[in-house]
Amino acid sequence: MSAERKDPVDAIIDQWAAVRPDLDTAAMEVFGRIFRLSRTMGDRMEKAYERFGISRGEFDVLATLRRSGEPYTLSPRQLSATLMLTTGGMTGRLDKLERAGLLRRSPDPHDRRGLQVTLTDEGLRLIDEAVGAGLEEQTDALSALDDEQAGRLADLLRELLRGTAQ
């Protein structure tokens, strides 16, 4: 590999090869790049959503409600399960989003003990703009690959994710 094509993960692999040539670092080459890409894109997404006054975590709540379709309503438990959050972590996000007028909580008409969380009109408007801004960031990052490469990468990552899901 030419020097100009090396990245920080290559440097780490080279260091391990120097001190532990017995190690097979092939997995590190893949996951080191996935971790770095995740961090870089996470930072870019955070900046994209910041201009809407929301964090990535808050975006996830609003986007989950939006994807659920009309009437854009889920229970806090459904949101927690979808986002893999504790109910305590979800409560904090819901509190902030409700104070901002982006969602409302109301009693569940089918369960006296339950609540429903619903996007407000302002929440719907904001999430539709924010998702567009986020996709622009992702599309920009993906422009380093051609369409065939991007499709192949998506297929490979899908297979890897299937193989690691337990």
**What average pLDDT does this structure show over 68-84?**
92
Instruction: Write down the pLDDT at residue 1.
Output: 55
Q: Is 26 exposed, middle or buried (0-12, 13-18, 19+ CB in 10 A)?
A: exposed
Using the predicted structure, report yes or no on whether residue 75 has a pLDDT greater than 80: yes
Using the predicted structure, report yes or no on whether residue 94 has a pLDDT greater than 60: yes
Q: Residue 54: which H helix or E strand, with range?
A: none
Distance, CA of 4 to CA of 1 (rounded, Å):
8
pLDDT tens by residue, 138-160: 999 999 999 999 999 999 999 99
Q: In what order do the strands lie in the sheet with 111-119?
A: 73-74, 111-119, 103-108
pLDDT tens by residue, 104-137: 999 988 888 889 999 999 999 999 999 999 999 9
| Structural fold of domain 7-142 | Arc Repressor Mutant, subunit A (1.10.10)
Q: How confident is the model at residue 2 (pLDDT cuts 50, 70, 90)?
A: low
Q: How many C-alpha atoms does 127 have within 13 Å on its Cβ side?
A: 26
From 72, 44, 70, select the one nearest 135 (Cα to Cα): 44
Instruction: Write down the pLDDT at residue 166.
Output: 64
Instruction: Write down the pLDDT at residue 36.
Output: 95
Tokens of 92: 């904090």
Instruction: Write down the pLDDT at residue 32.
Output: 95
pLDDT tens by residue, 9-36: 999 999 999 999 999 999 999 999 999 9
Residue 48 contacts residue 133 (beta carbons within 8 Å): yes
Instruction: Write down the pLDDT at residue 109.
Output: 86
Structural domain spans, the chain: 7-142
Peptide bond into 76 cis (omega under 30): no
